[in-house]
Chains A and B, each alone.
Chain A
């Protein structure tokens, strides 16, 4: 079966971002970019399903600027077979992304679509669920274990308070949580080989999707700063301060 894995180019998770001077957005110029960590977990899961003989082809897709092709190449170095790049310089809302992905799925007819549970820039946690709704497919979000059994899939999900297991027919949408797997590193020969794997570039228009504007970002501001704290010298002093100064115990 075929798996479709949408991936996103984001600011590297370890970079501390700053709001730009005119409070219109976060300043991302010249920052280190990477594949979103949850997308990496999704690629890894697809590769493991292929290694287990369940999956025959892994297609990765991304929507974004030309530079996002780097992230497709990364995914191909990890084991994806080919890439689809929807080139746009616009910042699209998750609903628009989901509509474009739905159009790609319409062409690809994948049996499993694996996405990260959220991107670490927008922190929306919406795209997978929206794609499931648009494609009329069942969804299993926040997956920590995926078992394909014939034409159904059993997914264990991380929920508040514990774990839940759901069973659903394929095709289905699965979004990955941190605990699903430990992504591998790309080996140098695989990075070289990935450069020769097929990569199609398409436009928003060619997918036949009309996008709407749903939201205006009025401003982006830094979060409230905490007042500088104090270092205490001993446990006694800490307890004294918590009791008499902060009055929290």
Chain B
């Protein structure tokens, strides 16, 4: 049995998510091949070779794959699909964009955001914003899946996979215009061991500075609720929740966040949850390991002082 994993990278480095998807592939069992499609992506290929348990790194280096255009990457994956029983990608914005396209072209269904492997055809995935877990058996010959990376541990970096180039080039009438990435010195939200998140109660973009200080002191990432994002306090890609990032750090500190179902869907698998809120009835206290009923503008500076 062979498993194809679509690597995620920015050409210069491999995203940590890829090591987690490989771990999911190993849980299914079989030979795991890694597809690195990009442009001038030699550095990412080097990193991919190191991943433990990878049989072959398949490299498609072409301008067509520079920006992760779903039409191009999807067609490439479909052209390789007949050699595999499983095709996996992380449930990132790239994986979510490309994989359903791949599945439909292969006339198979897709399993989204898999969190547990039961057997090679049966998987567990959350539905209704994580309010229920569905155990689903796939009846298709090729299982196309996206993997919720917060549910898997990365494989080690002690591999030595062979490299093989893929010749086919697929392009489309979709044109890449531009990209603006949020610049941050902090660890990636999805990979951070500590996440400090703020909600509407912060009141302004300026007030987020105290959470930034707290995140920096703990070596963590900054997150936010939808309310804080919609109010323009922080960029969209910091949103934690059903429609934003799903995180499961060792420590999640929710500051001024009430804890709506949609937000909890993104963080309730964190190891330790701390909630600071002045409303004792806030639903966030029902999932918090440690709750502090206090005004955040007094509690957070105090916390900074004590750490």
Contact = CB atoms under 8 A, between A and B. Distances in A.
Interface string B80-112: 000000000000111011111111110111111
A221 B261 CA distance: 17
Contacts of A219: 134-135
Interface stretch (A70-78, A131-139, A185-193, A195-203): A131-139
A166 B230 CA distance: 23
- Interface of A (DSSP majority class): mixed
A54 interface: no
A238 interface: yes
Interface string B126-161: 111111111111111000000000000000000000
Contacts of A16: 131, 261
Contacts of A204: none
Interface of A: 11, 13-14, 16-19, 26, 93-95, 98, 117-118, 120-134, 138-139, 141-142, 144, 154, 157-169, 177-179, 213-223, 226-227, 229-232, 234-236, 238-239, 241-242, 246, 248-249
B131 to A, nearest CB: 5
Q: Which residue of B69, B129, B132, B135 has the most chain A CB atoms within 10 A of its CB atom?
A: B132
Interface of B: 67, 69-71, 74, 92-94, 96-105, 107-113, 122, 126-140, 172-182, 190, 194, 218, 226, 229-230, 235-237, 242-243, 245, 250-251, 260-262, 268, 271-274, 285, 287-294, 299, 302-303, 306-307
Nearest to A245: B290
Contacts of B136: 215-218
A248 B218 CA distance: 10
Given A14-B261, A123-B112, A235-B306, A133 B135 contact: no
Contacts of B104: 95, 98, 129-131, 133-134
Given A26-B127, A94-B109, A242-B272, A142 B175 contact: no
Q: Which residue of B102, B130, B175, B302 has the most chain A CB atoms within 10 A of its CB atom?
A: B175
A188 to B, nearest CB: 27
